[in-house]
Amino acid sequence: MSGREPVEVLLRLVDPEVPVPGYARPGDAGADLVTTEPAVLAPGERAVLPTGVSIALPEGYAAFVHPRSGLAARCGVALVNAPGTVDAGYRGEIKVIVANLDPRESVRFERFDRIAQLVVQQVEKVRFRTVAELPDSARGAGGFGSTGGHAQQKDYVAVGAEGASDRRGQ
Ligand SMILES: O=c1ccn([C@H]2C[C@H](O)[C@@H](COP(=O)(O)OP(=O)(O)OP(=O)(O)O)O2)c(=O)[nH]1
């Protein structure tokens, strides 16, 4: 499969030393963003970190600042507003709102540590049309666990767990 041509996005280095965001591997959806400022976050603390880049997206596109799963799993680092939305018209520096959710350990970021990833996507612009009644659907107004919470999924078994049969339908 040849794949599509990449979409060209204009990028300005707000910090002249910052590496241009890139995809770590072919097929990756997110280009890595780094922090240009070192930071130490105590448990429960958050910070708005600069990435050293600003971009001009083509009209009809948006970029989304997503967390990195490695940082999340290893250090408990989350993005408070995940995913952050970068509008096509935004020309300011992209920032990342990180939070340390680990209950005990501080987390330290050095300059140019990768802290998030930027996913660029086409987005639809819609026009909302008010109506008195919405068309029927199979789901209707069901939501917020209407299909059963995880504890009610009686057909599911905790995979690989000792005594799994005891956990069925808990
Ligand atoms: O994680 C993020 C989220 C947003 N932004 C920038 C790009 C975006 O276009 C702008 C505004 O973001 P958003 O619309 O989420 O902010 P708001 O709180 O609604 O503020 P505003 O009233 O400025 O729209 O801030 C970032 O750099 N990082």
- Structural domains in the chain? 10-122 (2.70.40.10)
3-state helix, strand, coil in the chain (%, to 5): 10, 30, 60
Average per-residue pLDDT for the chain: 91
| Atom of ligand 1 at shortest range from CA of 89 | 9
Report helix, strand or coil for 164. Answer: helix
Residue 96 has pLDDT above 90, yes or no: yes
pLDDT confidence of 3, banded at 50, 70, 90? Answer: confident
CB 29 within 8 A of CB 3: no
- Record the pTM: 0.88
Please give the residue that has the higher pLDDT: either 164 or 34. Answer: 34
| Atom of ligand 1 at shortest range from CA of 87 | 9
Q: Which two tokens stand for residue 155?
A: 């057909």
Ligand 1 centroid–CA 168 distance in Å is 44
Residue 160 has pLDDT above 80, yes or no: no
**pLDDT (average), residues 61-72:** 98
Cα–Cα distance, 47 to 138 (Å, whole number): 43
pLDDT confidence of 151, banded at 50, 70, 90? Answer: confident
Ligand 1 centroid–CA 99 distance in Å is 17
pLDDT confidence of 149, banded at 50, 70, 90? Answer: confident
pLDDT confidence of 150, banded at 50, 70, 90? Answer: confident
| Atom of ligand 1 at shortest range from CA of 83 | 1
**pLDDT (average), residues 98-125:** 98
* Percent of all residues in the chain with a pLDDT value above 90, rounded to a whole number: 84
Report helix, strand or coil for 116. Answer: strand
Cα–Cα distance, 92 to 86 (Å, whole number): 10
Q: Which residues line ligand 1 (CB under 6 A)?
A: 65, 81, 84-87, 90, 94-97
ipTM exceeding 0.90, yes/no:
yes
CB 167 within 8 A of CB 157: yes
